Amino acid sequence: MLNYIGRRLALGLFTVWAVSVLSFLIIQLPPGDFATTRLAELAASGNTSAIYEAERLRAEYGLDQPVFVQYFTWIGQVLQGDFGMSLDWNRPVADVIGDRLVLTMVVSVAAIIFTWAVALPIGIYSAVRRYSFGDYALTFFGFLGLAIPNFLLALILMYFGFAVFDANVGGLFSAEYETAGWSFAKVWDLFKHLWIPAIVLGLAGTAQLVRIMRANLLDELKKPYVITATAKGLTERKAISKYPVRVALNPFASSIGFLFPQIVSGAIVVSIVLSLPTVGPLLLRALQAQDMFLAGAIVLLIGVMTVIGTLISDLVLMWLDPRIRHGR
Amino acid sequence: MADSATAVATAAQDEERISVASQRQLIWWRFRKHKLAMVGAIVVLLFYLVALFADFLSTSDPHASEGQRSLMPPQQVHWFDGGFSPHVYAVRGERDPITLQRTYVVDPTQKIPVTLFAKGYEYEFLGLFTTDIHLIGTEGARAEDTLFLFGTDQQGRDIFSRLIHATRTSMLIGLAGVALSILLGVVLGGISGYYGGAADTVIQRTIEILRSIPTIPLWMGLAAAMPKDWSVNQVYFALTLILSVIGWTELGRVVRGRMMQIRSEDFVTAAELVGGRPRRIIFKHMVPLFASHIIAATTLALPLMIVAETSLSFLGLGLRPPAISWGVMLQQAQNVQAVALYPWMLLPVLPVVAVILAFNFLGDGLRDAADPYDL
């Protein structure tokens, strides 16, 4: 068991390292360093002290040093909680991101909860009542959910919200809470707005999970122990929910490993369409303005959050499944 | 009695037929049974035909813009006028004196006939010769008489023709991206599955890491690094690279899984014993055995590539105008007000959804058909 936790932890750390390298790559990729960009901007505005400013920036961030030295300087600062300055906003990156990262995770977790809450009963129903009208109808909707990319779904929803209900379905808060500090009322307001992004983000995953659950359960339902349970006089409900569903649930739980990155990833684009105050719109703007420290920090933080989420799900899976707990 | 005898005979014939059929025939027979997959195959084929004959099918030059006819609603085709004579009504643009918004008034007195094989803008037919024949058009019409089946966009460009050209771009970028992914997936997955050991561990960890990172922020970051002054072709090429560098992992996993399974078969050992080199064994003896699996996995990977390109271009980080793709077109639909007032801007959603569904049905069918001995 400890062995398993250790292996997961090591892989998680390794992934975090890989993400940090990739984030640094994203910071480095645009041609010229950001001091050059800044220099061009300042020169364009007729600022003669621009050259000194650029030199100062170069020295401060060690831009004249080899790349790997720069990486270690950057990662060292990040580990101390300093993500550098956002050149676009002229404020520390940590300030700019603020609670947007938390909101990104709130939206993603809400989408996961929606996915599970919906996929589980539908999956069971589809397997138990195989080839019924309901099974076909749900499979059809599942395929549609898979086929419509979530940002397009968000667009269509926006259109219908606007054209039919004359309401803006975007945002996470009502206008009066947008800039207000955190309070119970604000959290409640968040919950009231959360369901639209949760559905938009969760639909594709739901369709996938229903198919997984249906297939798993169908395999289990054929097995003799289910027949035994039924033969001994258990009600259909009990005979299914007590045994085969629990077995079929394991691969279902492990699916969070691929579901979580997928949903976090989708949340970025969907947030831009629905203008949610998450890191999505911020990342887009940072990339457009070549505000690379902000962009790199966001990519890094999203990656780290995803790794932590996956790690937690692995631990939950271990708790659920004795086969993993006891090795092999 | 006689009936059952013939039934037995045909069953025996069937069995005979199956046992002598080639691999390809078996797959085809099995695939044919899958109705949805057949529909998917036909739809995919149609999409590629549209991509191939994009210029021929267009009604006007997709790049030609005209401020005088910006955001014009779709023109309805009327089929009958006494006899069968398809036509559209002329449309006059007016400016609302109060809101200053452009409005369009249909003038039913002026009919513009729509004809087959009409002359239009000049283009190169499949790169072979120059022509100006289009499938449909309004031949001999005045310059202000227009045929905008799906309306126009902000710059007054024909959405119908742009959709057709976008189909070409989006379907091809999917193919190019997947081709690169296959190469990466087969080579890396093949090494991983054939050699095992340290190579396998390194490649598998890489795949695990790539799969556990949200792809869209990474794609966005890499795509944003493309210099602004790159030409359309350079951006296209770079974008394909970016998509496949992260997108090959699923294919890599499929190939490795099959490779490991086949690796322990007797015929591979036999080939090794007679002194076959690994490259020959992999490509001559092993790959043909799971080529059909690769094709199925490819079909399922294609829609992912298309969606990735669409989302990146939609965000303004992928292909840029003057390139036309579904994502580039949808960029104009980002604004809610625009979408509410001019809903035809949302039309590119339809081909995206249709093509993803079709590829998924086709891929599922191919995957099932790839195990022909299951007949």
Q: Does the pLDDT at position B47 exceed 90?
A: yes
CB contact under 8 A, B336 and A170: yes
The token duo for A234 is 């258990």
Banded model confidence at residue A140, pLDDT cuts 50, 70, 90: confident
CB contact under 8 A, B217 and A272: no
> Whole-number mean pLDDT of chain B?
81
CB contact under 8 A, A29 and B352: no
Residue A40 touches partner B, C-beta closer than 8 Å: no
Give B150 or A250, the one with higher predicted confidence: B150
pLDDT tens digits, B164-212: 999 988 888 888 888 888 888 888 888 888 888 888 888 888 888 887 7
Cβ within 8 Å of A, B 168-207: 205
Average pLDDT of the residues in A235-258: 80
The token duo for A219 is 């395999």
| Percent of chain A scoring above 70 in pLDDT | 88
Banded model confidence at residue A78, pLDDT cuts 50, 70, 90: confident
CB contact under 8 A, B216 and A266: yes
Average pLDDT of the residues in B275-287: 84
Instruction: Tell me how far apart the alpha carbons of residues B301 and B21 are, in angstroms, rounded to a whole number.
Output: 29
Instruction: Tell me how far apart the alpha carbons of residues B65 and B176 are, in angstroms, rounded to a whole number.
Output: 30
Q: What is the ipTM of this complex?
A: 0.80
Instruction: From A277, A95, A279, A94, select the one nearest A186 (Cα to Cα).
Output: A277
B343 → chain A, closest CA residue: A159
Cβ within 8 Å of B, A 135-154: 143-144, 146-149, 151-152
3-class DSSP string for chain B: CHHHHHHHHHHHHHHHHHHHCCHHHHHHHHHHCCHHHHHHHHHHHHHHHHHHCHHHHCCCCCCCCCHHHCCCCCCCCEEEECEEEEEEEEEEEEECCCCCCEEEEEEEEEEEECEEEEEEEEEEECCCEEEEEEEEECCCCCCCCCCCCCCECCCCCEHHHHHHHHHHHHHHHHHHHHHHHHHHHHHHHHHHHHHCHHHHHHHHHHHHHHHHCCHHHHHHHHHHCCCCCCCHHHHHHHHHHHHHHHHCHHHHHHHHHHHHHHHCCHHHHHHHHCCCCHHHHHHHHHHHHHHHHHHHHHHHHHHHHHHHHHHHHHCCCCCCCCCCCHHHHHHHHCCHHHHHHCHHHHCCHHHHHHHHHHHHHHHHHHHHHCCHHHC
Identify the pLDDT of residue B42. 94
Number of A to B CB contacts under 8 A, please give it: 129
Helix (H, G, I), strand (E, B) or coil at A148: coil
Q: Which residue in the set A155, A273, A287 is minimally distant from B317, CB to CB?
A: A287
CB contact under 8 A, B211 and A287: no
pLDDT tens digits, B342-372: 888 888 889 999 999 898 888 888 877 776 5
pLDDT tens digits, B226-252: 877 788 878 888 888 888 888 788 888
Domain ranges across chain A: 2-92, 94-325
Residue B289 touches partner A, C-beta closer than 8 Å: no
Residue A230 touches partner B, C-beta closer than 8 Å: no
> Whole-number mean pLDDT of chain A?
81
How far out from the chain centre does Cα A16 lie?
Answer: 15
pTM: 0.82
Average pLDDT of the residues in B111-117: 79
A120 in Cβ contact with A202 (< 8 Å) = no
Lowest mean pLDDT among A283-292, A296-305, B307-316: A283-292
Query: Which chain A residues are within 8 Å of B316, Cβ to Cβ?
Result: 284, 288
B227 in Cβ contact with B160 (< 8 Å) = no
Identify the pLDDT of residue B1. 47
Identify the pLDDT of residue A165. 74
- At the fourth CATH level, which superfamily is domain A94-325? MetI-like (1.10.3720.10)
Identify the pLDDT of residue A46. 61
Banded model confidence at residue B280, pLDDT cuts 50, 70, 90: confident
Cβ within 8 Å of A, B 67-126: none
Q: Does the pLDDT at position A328 exceed 50?
A: no
Residue B238 touches partner A, C-beta closer than 8 Å: no
CB contact under 8 A, A158 and B336: yes
| Percent of chain B scoring above 70 in pLDDT | 94
Banded model confidence at residue A53, pLDDT cuts 50, 70, 90: low
Q: Which residue in the set B209, B314, B340 is minimally distant from A159, CB to CB?
A: B340
Query: Which chain B residues are within 8 Å of A265, Cβ to Cβ?
Result: 214-217
CA distance B335 to chain A (A): 8
Query: Which chain B residues are within 8 Å of A257, Cβ to Cβ?
Result: 212
Identify the pLDDT of residue B141. 63
Give A33 or A168, the one with higher predicted confidence: A168
pLDDT tens digits, B312-347: 888 888 888 888 889 888 888 877 777 777 888 888
Q: At how many degrees (to 10) do helices A256-273 and A100-128 cross?
A: 120
B247 in Cβ contact with B304 (< 8 Å) = yes
Cα separation values, B142 from A277, B116, B161, B324, Å: 51, 17, 19, 27
Banded model confidence at residue B45, pLDDT cuts 50, 70, 90: very high
CA distance A22 to chain B (A): 8
Banded model confidence at residue A51, pLDDT cuts 50, 70, 90: low
Query: Which chain B residues are within 8 Å of A146, Cβ to Cβ?
Result: 356, 360
Q: Which residue in the set A18, A23, A168 is minimally distant from B209, CB to CB?
A: A18
Identify the pLDDT of residue B138. 77
Q: What are the structural domains, with CATH classification, of chain B? A: 59-157 (no CATH), 162-368 (1.10.3720.10)
Distance between first and last Cα of chain B: 28
Banded model confidence at residue B44, pLDDT cuts 50, 70, 90: very high
Mutate to test the interface with B, among A19, A24, A29, A155 (most CBs of B within 10 A): A155
